[in-house]
Amino acid sequence: MNNARPREGPPLPRFAQLATFMRLPHVPDPKGLDVAILGIPYDGGVTYRPGPRFGPADVRQHSRLIRTYHPVHGIKPFEALRVADVGDVRVNPMDVQNNYARIETAVGAILDAGAVPVCVGGDHSVSLGLLRAVARQHGAVGLVHVDAHQDMWDEHFGNRYFHGAPFRRAVEEGLLDTRRAIQIGIRGSVNDAADFDFARQHRVRTIRGEDVAREGIAWVIRHLQRLGRGPVYLSFDIDGVDPAFAPGTGTPEVGGLTSREAMALIRALKGVRLVGADLVEVSPPYDHSHITSLLAANLLFEIVSVIAATRAEKRRRRPGPRKVGRKERAR
């Protein structure tokens, strides 16, 4: 069994030793884990400013300050769940297709082990590989997609596999249950009004950055009911958050979520059946004072904590063994 607990605070200073996500142990084999945190240092899919290949390393470094108790959920996620840093995907920086195969293999192993993959990118192209692996295990999944961009463009310079297209490809490949899909924080200039057609045609619910500003995050959270009871994937592009809070990213758009709204949104996923998550587009070369990586580290803690809080609530609702009726046995 993995002893998957963060290293103690004192007497070992949190700035000492090798950096892992939230100072969790590095456990390359996901067997026995509940949540496996995986780095995907790939940025061959960017269209503008590069750099998210350095995201996993920098988020590890700036997650040293994350502690072990979540005061809002009232839970110690690393005691409730076995969580570890399983390292990075051995990416191929030169070939997007080969990289997808590598992501699918790594994430497939995590899913086969019964753990939830929580991945730190990398640019947003990686989500297609992740969704392929997740859908193979769970079928078409619901989606919470936080982003300034819909990432449903068709192609860029003739290439259909880049960070502006993963969710269009995912819909085409049948990986998403679009009736249970929601995009939050979409904003900024696009090339044409028709850019929004694909999501509309597939009935993906789109909540724009302007909607969040006008109606408030509580209103946004009410729309999460759309996710239902089935398996859901969370894809969090850090550029969904305003560049005032997250400047270290490749395609920044002003008028985004605050860091508080981002945290509230993830906390509101309590009760949702998250089967996988990613946090992408952190580009440390464009960061200032590490604030983007610090935000990403905290959002990572929020994701693991909400998974822990959801499971704890489920256990509370099913206290102890009970008699199994004939109907249930027949299922």
- Binding residues for Mn ion, per CB under 5 A? 124, 147-149, 151, 237, 239
Q: Closer to Mn ion by CB, 6 or 51: give it.
A: 51
Comparing CB distances to Mn ion, the nearer of 274 and 282 is 282
Residue 18, Cβ density class (10 Å: 0-12 exposed, 13-18 middle, ≥19 buried): exposed
Residue among 106 and 148 whose Cβ is closer to Mn ion = 148
Closest by CA position to 56, among listed 110, 138, 120: 120
Spatial distance between the Cα atoms of 251 and 253, rounded to a whole number of angstroms: 7
SS3 216: coil
Q: How far is the CB of 239 from Mn ion (least distance, A)?
A: 4
276 residue type, one letter: G
Using CA atoms, how far apart are residues 145 and 276, in angstroms rounded to an integer? 12
Tell me phi and psi for residue 18, to 5 degrees.
Answer: -65, 145
Shortest spacing between CB 120 and Mn ion, in angstroms: 14
| Least distance to Mn ion, CB of residue 189, Å | 13
Q: How far is the CB of 119 from Mn ion (least distance, A)?
A: 14
Nearer to Mn ion, 151 or 242 (CB): 151
At its nearest, how many Å lie between Mn ion and the CB of residue 232? 18
H helices present in 44-196, as ranges: 55-62, 77-80, 96-112, 126-138, 166-172
Q: Which is nearer to Mn ion, 119 or 148 (CB)?
A: 148
Tell me whether the omega of the peptide bond preceding residue 243 falls within 30 degrees of 0, making it cis: no
